[in-house]
Structure 1
Amino acid sequence: MCGRITQHRSQVAYAHAMGWNVDDFGRHGGGSGRGPSWNVAPGTAPWLMHRFGDDGEHIDQVTWGYRPSWAAEKKIPIAINARIEKAATGPYFRSLWKSGRAIVPADGWYEWTGEKGHKQPWYIRRRDDRPMFLAAITGYRPEKEPGENTGFVIVTAAAEGGLVDVHDRRPVVFSAEDAALWMDNSLPPDQAEHLARAVALPPDVFEWYKVSTDVNRVGNNNAQLIEPIESDVATEEDDA
């Protein structure tokens, strides 16, 4: 995890769910340069919520994927996720953790199980189907020229409960209140680490179910991709 997400709601919907003043957002938020997506892949530019620069509330399109300049020189692959166990202190992400914390708004994410060539995709979302706020870290700043060192990665933690059966990793997902705190880049790095470890939403908030292998093709993008292909929808309570 996490290699594919959905963002099929509008910028304004995510801003409203975060508790931002939608009128203010409309005046100085990001542009509306992309439509709804049920199949957002690394290397594309999904919405990223942040409070950089003037400390205003913004949603901008930012590339999913990050690599610092020194890593590019060593031909280290571009990262799309950051393990919480290493991100706060490791050299690859340490500077981003300190002052580059942001949020990826999403409606759900995909995981795959099974053997190579026969993998089954699953869709995971909140049981109440409300927007999710995924912890992210980024080198993006509005005034910077875009490049590998200005992209973002999603912060992941070890999966718990029934989610382990789908994948051993999961994104760190916050409530709106905790997401706002995460985006406060005056928060010391150690407190941000505690926040990510201690208050991420637990497995019983989510449900997960099998979906069509049509999602495997990145070019496919429609609402049918998140429709269950079996009647049973699993939750952490079902596995208890």
Structure 2
Amino acid sequence: MCGRFVVARVGSELVSELSVDLVSDDLPQPSFNIAPTALAAIVLDSAKSDPPTRRLEPARWGLVPGWAKDLSVGARAFNARSETVAEKRTFAPAFAKRRAVVPATGYYEWKVTDDGKLPLFIHPAGGEPMLFAGLYEWWKDPQDAWVLSFTILTRDAVGDLGSIHHRMPVFLDSDHADAWLDTDIDAPHDVLEAALDDAPRVAESFAWHEVDRAVGNVRNDSPDLIEPV
């Protein structure tokens, strides 16, 4: 699963490889402990323009489908299982038409050991952004204000990451990210399968280290959280 992640940089430098056309003026500040219901930047292609405009926008972590009566639905929908994403009422419409890329510096996972759960920070060894496959939705609140929200897709963990946790995010390289964002494709299953097949290769470049248990408290948010213990 992916329940906490880090975005240490914001703006166009975060997604330079994705050719973003429009960067929002309201992006959240860097955060070293992003948790569900918090704001993070996502990349999406707006199909309302011709050609589609690729945008970097702030969104609430935890997908809120259009039929939801309130925002609380999103607190339980911060991850979507890739195996069932096309079948679930919460995620299927977004999987078909509203796919996003979630850029990050890295993410946290907790490894179960004889000494308890150890928090690890997992990140690309070269310092480049990590890209997660995501979905987004727009939801109108009772005051007629629109809320943009997102979820991160997960899959069975493979390789060395499988020794940390049995699930991991669906990782993308820049080519798969472009395909994932394409609003014109008719077969999102094919794009997902290609990304799933390549995710283990992408993950081969990742490194990780143990970090302070302070990361377990969502109120803690500083660069110290990603430093090795």
Query: TM class, shorter-chain normalised?
Result: 0.7 to 0.9
In structure 1, C-alpha distance between the alignment counterparts of 2:207 and 2:96, rounded to whole Å: 32
2:188 is matched with 189
In structure 2, C-alpha distance between the alignment counterparts of 1:209 and 1:122, rounded to whole Å: 5
Total equivalences in the alignment:
218
1:120 corresponds to which of 90, 111, 118: 118
1:59 is matched with 56
In structure 1, C-alpha distance between the alignment counterparts of 2:82 and 2:152, rounded to whole Å: 10
Greater shift in the superposed pair: 42-51 or 76-85:
76-85
1:79 CA displacement: 0.8
1:163 CA displacement: 0.7
SS at match of 1:62: strand
In structure 1, C-alpha distance between the alignment counterparts of 2:100 and 2:215, rounded to whole Å: 27
**2:175 pairs with 1:177:** yes
* 8 Å contact from structure 2 (residues 2, 168) kept in 1: yes
**2:33 pairs with 1:42:** no
2:93 is matched with 95
2:206 is matched with 206
The TM-score, its normalising length taken from structure 1, stands at: 0.82
In structure 2, C-alpha distance between the alignment counterparts of 1:163 and 1:199, rounded to whole Å: 15
1:125 CA displacement: 0.5
In structure 1, C-alpha distance between the alignment counterparts of 2:103 and 2:197, rounded to whole Å: 20
SS at match of 1:214: helix
1:178 CA displacement: 1.3
The TM-score, its normalising length taken from structure 2, stands at: 0.86
1:92 CA displacement: 2.5
In structure 2, C-alpha distance between the alignment counterparts of 1:14 and 1:140, rounded to whole Å: 23
SS at match of 2:109: strand
Output the amino acid matched with 1:106: A
Please tell me the root mean square deviation across aligned C-alpha atoms, in Å: 2.5
* 8 Å contact from structure 2 (residues 39, 58) kept in 1: yes
1:29 corresponds to which of 20, 23, 27: 23
* 8 Å contact from structure 1 (residues 67, 78) kept in 2: no
Compare the two structures and name the one with the higher strand fraction. Answer: 2
Percentage of identical aligned residues: 29
Unaligned runs of 5+ in 1: 230-240
In structure 2, C-alpha distance between the alignment counterparts of 1:60 and 1:67, rounded to whole Å: 16
Q: Which runs of 4+ in 1 moved over 6 A?
A: none
